[in-house]
Amino acid sequence: MRDWAYLNRVVEGPSRPLQQLLAAGRDASEIAHGVRSRASWLGELAGQTAARATWDRAEEDLAAAAAVGARLITPECAEWPREEFDVAFGFAATGRSEHLRSYQDDAVPPHALWVRGGPLRPAVAQSVGVVGTRAATRYGLEATRQIATGLASHQWTVVSGGALGVDTVAHEAALGAGGLTVAVAACGIDRTYPARNAALFDRIAGQGVCVTEYPPGTPPQRHRFLTRNRLVAALTAGTVIVEAAWRSGALNTLSWAEGLGRVAMAVPGPITGAGSLGCHERIKEGRAQLVTGSDDIRALLGAAGALDVAEQYELAFAATPVQSLTRNELRVFDAIDPTGSVAQDIALGAGLPLPLTVHLLLELTKRGVVTREGTVWSRADRL
């Protein structure tokens, strides 16, 4: 883990050269040694690390994270959201997005993440980004509250950026509904920004997850917010924007959702002011789906999740009920032992939160795919 911490400090992500070296089979230890020794095979990574190669603070960074109850996770960890990143950045790599032509260098996953709270992978297994302006109106705040509450009550994790305004209300509403929420920060895991949300971040860490790709001590800066936005989009099945003026920074997250093949959605606002001009423009251009509540969002994301990234139509349109299950439903179904399983074991096998697992089991029971006897869930015999 020390080598990953070193690379996270000296290579400020996203880094395409680093990802290319990892994909080529070089591990973190080898790359870290290469950066320290200025190896000839580093290629473009040599330039990216020239200024920070001697900045070895791995032990200090790991200790600083531990001091606030945080940890470093990497692609080697079980809680790494591999499926979400593979789908999002795999779509980006196809070159089908007009938006990403100017963002291509940034359209790669992080090489490590600092996490405070529960495990990240199950938290984002069924999630939606909810973002918007900091200068939200009463209308925008109430719309956000209704949407986030509705999503959380149906076991959808609400992901946002922890900023004031819409982000704050989205997090608070999800927590208030007893749901999961994830805050993606643009600074070190030991930094609190904005400062007035310190208590909120503590609540999120206790009930959800706080995450960042920046090492401890890293201050929030403008370019880091733009980089952070790609993670909000990548970690979720779709992103909805509530109130965004013509040049609102929140629109950047919606653009990333487009570029990463996620569902882009916007809530319409009053036509009597300029607070929702950005939302209206995206809707008019066909770049965002119009949504007016959590039911609209769930309908769009449920439909999107019915097909996998490889477009395997033979599965989506097959005759049997099992072959038409969504990805998360199939994860739950596959985790049921042939002799039957209790919900806790199914959740563990599926890598999903227990409340979401129970919710999906109940849905599968209604459709006759799963049966229940006491606390034991089984696959239906006729399947």
Are 120 and 73 a contacting pair, CB within 8 Å?
Answer: yes
Domain span at residue 179? 104-304
Residue 232 lies in a domain: yes
Q: Are residues 154 and 8 in the same domain?
A: no
Q: Give the position of tokens 């809707």.
A: 283
Domain-terminating residue out of 243, 274, 304? 304
Are 142 and 110 a contacting pair, CB within 8 Å?
Answer: no
Q: Are residues 158 and 283 in the same domain?
A: yes
Residue 72 lies in a domain: no
Are 377 and 370 a contacting pair, CB within 8 Å?
Answer: yes
Residue 300 lies in a domain: yes
Are 240 and 148 a contacting pair, CB within 8 Å?
Answer: no
d(CA 314, CA 364): 21
Q: Are residues 243 and 298 in the same domain?
A: yes
Q: Please, which residues have CB within 8 angstroms of residue 70's CB and are 6 or more apart in sequence? A: 114, 115, 116, 189, 190, 210, 216
pLDDT for the residue 363: 87
Work out how many domains the chain is built from and give that number.
3
- Residue 212 belongs to domain with CATH number: 3.40.50.450
Domain-terminating residue out of 55, 70, 91? 55
Q: Are residues 184 and 269 in the same domain?
A: yes
Residue 10 lies in a domain: yes
pLDDT for the residue 143: 96
Are 136 and 166 a contacting pair, CB within 8 Å?
Answer: yes
Q: Are residues 253 and 184 in the same domain?
A: yes
Q: Are residues 224 and 335 in the same domain?
A: no
Q: Are residues 244 and 162 in the same domain?
A: yes
Q: Are residues 44 and 121 in the same domain?
A: no
d(CA 229, CA 188): 15
Q: Are residues 292 and 359 in the same domain?
A: no
Are 210 and 116 a contacting pair, CB within 8 Å?
Answer: yes
pLDDT for the residue 314: 42
Residue 371 lies in a domain: yes
The two structure tokens encoding residue 30 = 């080898």
Residues of the chain with pLDDT under 70: 97-104, 303-324, 382-383
267: three-class secondary structure by DSSP:
strand
Domain-terminating residue out of 304, 327, 344? 304
Question: Is the bond leading into 194 cis (omega within 30 degrees of zero)?
Answer: yes
Q: Please, which residues have CB within 8 angstroms of residue 162's CB and are 6 or more apart in sequence? A: 168, 171, 183, 184, 185, 193, 194, 197, 200, 201, 204, 210
Q: Are residues 299 and 322 in the same domain?
A: no
Q: Are residues 126 and 257 in the same domain?
A: yes
Residue 332 lies in a domain: yes
Residue 270 lies in a domain: yes
What pTM value is reported for the model? Answer: 0.85
Q: Are residues 111 and 147 in the same domain?
A: yes
Burial of 363 (0-12, 13-18, 19+ CB in 10 A): middle
Residue 82 lies in a domain: no
State the DSSP code for 369: S
Q: Which of 155, 198, 137 is nearest to 145 (CA)?
A: 137
pLDDT for the residue 168: 97
DSSP-assigned states of every residue in 282-342: HHHTTSSEE--SHHHHHHHHHHHTTS-TT--HHHHT-SSTGGG--HHHHHHHHHS-TT-EE
